[in-house]
A and B are shown apart, each in its own frame.
Chain A
Amino acid sequence: MARFHDLKVTDIHHTIRDAVVLTLEPDDPAAFDFIQGQYLTFRRDFDGEELRRSYSICSGRHEGKLQVGIKRVEGGAFSNFANEELKVGDTLQAMEPMGGFHTPLDPANAKNYLGFAGGSGITPVLSIVKTTLATEPRSTFTLVYANKGVASIMFREELEDLKNQYLGRLSVIHVLEQDAQEIDLFTGMVTEEKCAQLFRTWIDVESVDTAFICGPEPMMLGIARALRDHGLDDAQIKFELFASAQPGRLKSKVVSKQAGKQANQAEVAITLDGATQTITTAKDMTILDAARQNAMDAPFACTAGVCSTCRCRVIEGEVEMVANHALEDYEVEKGYVLSCQSFPVTDRVVVDYDQ
């Protein structure tokens, strides 16, 4: 089960106008011995509702500090809080580092790595670049970094410094959507075609051992297609999905105050794959069984309350979940239940498998 730890904010650095790098000091440093490319999941209450957000670590393993980069997202509760309200000395809560956006490093390696980052997708890639160059003295790294314009490049100076520090082993290609550059090829977006052009002239793709991609979805798809076209197989391409794909805030559950609890039968409205069926069922039958008996292909696996495949969300009414070995308290608070373990309590219950 996930465990949260306290982390003290010891530094806040604005890299560009709307992004911050937080330096964090965990109460349990051993728990935060991260691998390059991993992320932290933070939790915080906003208006009484717990919100969780993941941000990638941008420091290198060898640097002896824990840093995450947070770019402000329009309407994003956590990113706005971090950019505008958070102060040095405040305490945040985060889970231990997670994620598999990395490959094993070995000082004996002489490999060529290729990284693609779009916007704030640079954060895990920067951690990988720094750690790799420090750990594998014979390896090289080429970074293609896409941004709207010069003003929105996070870590621009830091990358320049790294280039000087690892002379000849790090090359950085900035591709800017709006600002014109000396070389036409470096203007525009990083698409499949742009990659193919880069591979013709600037990047020796045939010598690449592993490619890392982190950015918006269409960009990642285009790059992956270009890499596959140029001979890389799936095992050589590592993706990290952009943080913007995280689900937004959920509306809180409707609690009907006058919900009746008299009858032995309940009316259960079940939404699955966008379609809703209303079923009249006995209150001693689980929500999952009620759905399956009515030919709904509701998901399940263990039917013992341990795997959480059958998770759904109660939108209205009340159910009793008799066993739960999989959902966390914060999920239960939001109305999530294991449908294989949940029996209707109120005469009317509305559940949704699509939320």
Chain B
Amino acid sequence: MDDMSLKDYLAEGGMLTSPANVPPRYRAELLKLMATFVDSELAGAAGFADTINRGPGIKERIAAAKIVLEKTDNADKVLKIMGDFGADEVRYANHHPWTARLDRDADIGTRRVEHDMRLAVFNYPLEGWGDAVVMNLLMGQAVGVQMGEFVKVSYQPLAEAFRGIAPVEARHAELAHEGMQRLIAEDQGDQLQASVHYWWPRVAASFGIGNPDRFEALREMGLRHTPNAELKSAWEARAGETLSQLGLKAT
């Protein structure tokens, strides 16, 4: 009964608990997953920071500042776990200019740019307050779907970190939703619709293309559970419904 390989243990839903009992390939994939999250949060927060001053009122500016603060804090929580594996946390936080963006019409699909692991969607610049709110709503709901996947990850310290992060991220999507409602009431529906057209395919692409072999390898390690396509449809359904309640169309 004592003889069970870590591979079988993980495939059957077992949890790993410290850097000392993590096998090499698992370590690498776990670090990649954490880097993707940290880079996306840091890039997202940095890009959104400029938007704080564009908030039309003090409440909006508080909401935007809160989002920037908390996304940076969420990045820090996961970066600490990377630190347990030897990553240099101070250097990591500064190894890339997180505010850097491509052109608004750059077409990079799901590709990430060199040097950091942020999701492709975080390479596009925001254009004004309303555009930022739309991006935050759509991406916020995408993160909500991703969080459902992340809290099941087989590295217990990371699953616990994500359990703390999930409600904070959910609140960010709610703030964006409230912001949208205000802008709709102010008759800005047309501009918001244009932003939805811009962000919808880019947020959709953040779910990735999904290589079945790679997904299977990650599933066996307990680092993934639901295929990308399924997560993407869950988001499409959820975000589509939110938009229609606001009187907007997804595509």
Known contacts A221-B9, A304-B95: A241-B16 contact under CB 8 Å: yes
Report how far A240 CA is from B14 CA in the complex, Å: 10
Stretch of A18-26, A60-68, A167-175, A321-329 at the chain-chain interface: A321-329
* Residues on B with beta carbons closer than 8 Å to the beta carbon of A111: none
Contact B82 A307 (CB under 8 A): yes
Contact A355 B95 (CB under 8 A): no
A254: CB under 8 A from chain B?
Answer: no
Contact B159 A302 (CB under 8 A): no
Chain A residues 225 to 250 lying within 8 A of chain B, measured CB to CB, are 225, 234-235, 238-241, 244-247
Chain A residues 306 to 322 lying within 8 A of chain B, measured CB to CB, are 306-311
Contact A309 B114 (CB under 8 A): no
A52: CB under 8 A from chain B?
Answer: yes
> Which chain A residue has the least Cβ–Cβ distance from B87?
A307
> Which chain B residue has the least Cβ–Cβ distance from A310?
B28
Q: Could you tell me the distance in whole angstroms from the C-beta of A125 to the nearest C-beta in chain B?
A: 13
Stretch of A7-15, A93-101, A137-145, A276-284 at the chain-chain interface: A93-101
Residue of B14, B35, B151, B159 touching A309 (CB-CB under 8 A) = B35
> Which chain B residue has the least Cβ–Cβ distance from A300?
B32
Residue with the greatest number of chain B CB neighbours at <10 A, chosen from A99, A309, A354? A309
Q: Could you tell me the distance in whole angstroms from the C-beta of A310 to the nearest C-beta in chain B?
A: 7
Report how far A247 CA is from B6 CA in the complex, Å: 10
Contact B6 A353 (CB under 8 A): no
What is the interface residue range for chain B against chain A?
A: 35 or more
Q: Could you tell me the distance in whole angstroms from the C-beta of B222 to the nearest C-beta in chain A?
A: 11
Chain B residues 226 to 246 lying within 8 A of chain A, measured CB to CB, are none
Residue of A98, A218, A244 touching B1 (CB-CB under 8 A) = A218
Report how far A217 CA is from B16 CA in the complex, Å: 10
* Residues on B with beta carbons closer than 8 Å to the beta carbon of A240: 17
* Residues on A with beta carbons closer than 8 Å to the beta carbon of B1: 189, 216, 218-219
Contact B20 A306 (CB under 8 A): no
A342: CB under 8 A from chain B?
Answer: no
